[in-house]
Structure 1
Amino acid sequence: MPSLAKEREKPNKMAETMIMAELYYKLMTLARFLISSDVLSRARSTLTLTGREAHHLTRVRRLGPGSLVELIDGSGVVAKAKIIQVNRTEVGLHIVEVSEQQNDCLPISLIVALLKGDRMGWMIQKATELGVQTICPVITQHTVVKVDVERTGGHLVRWKEIAGQALKQCKGNFVPTIYPVVRLEEALEKVSYARAKILLWESEKKCSLFSAWRDQGNNTPVAVIAGPEGGLSREEILACKGAGFFTATMGRRTLRSETAAIGAVAALAAMITCKRLQGTASALLPGT
Structure 2
Amino acid sequence: MRNFIISSDQIDGNKIRCSASEQKHITTVLRMQQGDQVRFLDDNGNYYIATLQYVDENKISAEIINQGFNPPSSPSVTLFQALIKPSKMGLVMQKTAEIGVDQIVPMVTDRSIINLKPSTHIQKNTRWQRIANEATKQCRRLRFPKILQIQSFTECLLSVGGFDEAIILYENEKVRSIQSVLRGFGSLDSVAVLVGPEGGFTNQENEAALAENCVPVSLGTNILRTETAAIVAAALVVYELRTGEGN
**C-alpha offsets along residues 162-185 of structure 1, whole Å, 9 cap, x if unaligned?**
111122122223222221111101
Name the structure 1 match of 2:51: 82
Deviates more, 1:240-249 or 1:168-177: 168-177
Name the structure 2 match of 1:148: 117
**C-alpha offsets along residues 62-106 of structure 1, whole Å, 9 cap, x if unaligned?**
011111111111322111111121222111212212222212364
The alpha-carbon distance between structure 1 residues 195 and 49, as it changes in their structure 2 partners (threshold 3 A), is closer
Deviates more, 1:74-83 or 1:154-163: 74-83
Give, in angstroms, the shift of residue 113 of structure 1. 0.4
The alpha-carbon distance between structure 1 residues 50 and 227, as it changes in their structure 2 partners (threshold 3 A), is closer
Query: In 2, distance between residues paired with 1:235 and 1:225?
Result: 15
Instruction: State which structure, 1 or 2, has the greater radius of gyration over its C-alpha atoms.
Output: 1
Question: Whose helix proportion is higher, 1 or 2?
Answer: 1
Q: Which amino acid aligns with 1:238?
A: E
Name the structure 1 match of 2:145: 176
Which of 175, 179, 194 in structure 2 is aligned with 1:210? 179
Taking only the aligned residue pairs, the percentage that are identical comes to: 30
Deviates more, 1:93-102 or 1:253-262: 93-102
Which of 218, 222, 225 in structure 1 is aligned with 2:194? 225
Query: In 2, distance between residues paired with 1:267 and 1:99?
Result: 30
Name the structure 2 match of 1:50: 19
- Normalising to structure 2: TM-score of the pair? 0.93
Segments ≥4 residues shifted beyond 6 Å:
none
Deviates more, 1:180-189 or 1:31-40: 31-40
Q: Which amino acid aligns with 1:257?
A: T
Give, in angstroms, the shift of residue 260 of structure 1. 0.6
Give, in angstroms, the shift of residue 149 of structure 1. 4.1
Name the structure 1 match of 2:78: 109
Q: Which amino acid aligns with 1:241?
A: L
Give, in angstroms, the shift of residue 220 of structure 1. 4.4
Native 8 Å contact 2:77 2:193 kept in 1 = yes
Native 8 Å contact 2:72 2:143 kept in 1 = yes
Give, in angstroms, the shift of residue 218 of structure 1. 6.1
SS in 2 for 1:118: helix
Query: In 2, distance between residues paired with 1:47 and 1:211?
Result: 47
Name the structure 1 match of 2:3: 32
The alpha-carbon distance between structure 1 residues 149 and 252, as it changes in their structure 2 partners (threshold 3 A), is farther
- Normalising to structure 1: TM-score of the pair? 0.80
SS in 2 for 1:266: helix
5+ residue gaps in structure 2? none
Query: In 2, distance between residues paired with 1:271 and 1:191?
Result: 20
SS in 1 for 2:86: coil
The alpha-carbon distance between structure 1 residues 88 and 132, as it changes in their structure 2 partners (threshold 3 A), is same
Native 8 Å contact 2:6 2:19 kept in 1 = no
Query: In 2, distance between residues paired with 1:195 and 1:230?
Result: 28
Native 8 Å contact 1:105 1:131 kept in 2 = no
Query: In 1, distance between residues paired with 2:16 and 2:108?
Result: 41
Q: Which amino acid aligns with 2:5?
A: L
SS in 2 for 1:78: strand
SS in 1 for 2:50: strand
Across the aligned residues of Structure 1 and Structure 2, the Cα RMSD in angstroms comes to 1.8
Give, in angstroms, the shift of residue 54 of structure 1. 0.5
Native 8 Å contact 1:105 1:176 kept in 2 = no
- Say if 2:67 is the partner of 1:95: no
Native 8 Å contact 2:10 2:18 kept in 1 = no
Which of 211, 226, 235 in structure 2 is aligned with 1:266? 235
In the alignment of these two chains, the number of paired residues is 247
Give, in angstroms, the shift of residue 141 of structure 1. 0.7
The alpha-carbon distance between structure 1 residues 105 and 34, as it changes in their structure 2 partners (threshold 3 A), is farther
Name the structure 2 match of 1:27: none
